Structure 1
């Protein structure tokens, strides 16, 4: 994720997620509470929890998101709900 960017706040109707930070220092808003994340740290996001990851520092952010149940590219089911 580029510096000074953020994803739009949203939640998932059925999927849980786990964010893992490989480089950078993002902040994560989770149900209205903001937490700083650090290198090799992760955070669990429950299904239906509103969340937004933000990269404020001047360096790129590299993170991995794992979702369960998985959403297949060919699926017509939309799990992501924008807020």
Structure 2
């Protein structure tokens, strides 16, 4: 089946991939190579491109918020 991978969306974008669903664990999909394994429909992989875009946008906004907090901490820090 064709799915969209968002596990690394912030570093390498959304990837379209042909995978097979695990028989033992239906929430896991596996690609063609041994290390192409993704967990959680709606978390690391998505059945629709629209769902993948929504997740990637959520990830982007969370990362921006995290970076803003880091910047605020650094701006408050003073070395005497």
> Which range, TM-score by smaller chain?
under 0.3
Q: 1 or 2, which has the higher strand percentage?
A: 1
Q: 1 or 2, which has the higher helix percentage?
A: 2
Q: Could you say which structure has the greater relative contact order, defined with CA pairs below 8 angstroms and 6 or more residues apart? A: 1
Normalising by structure 2, report the TM-score.
0.22
Normalising by structure 1, report the TM-score.
0.22
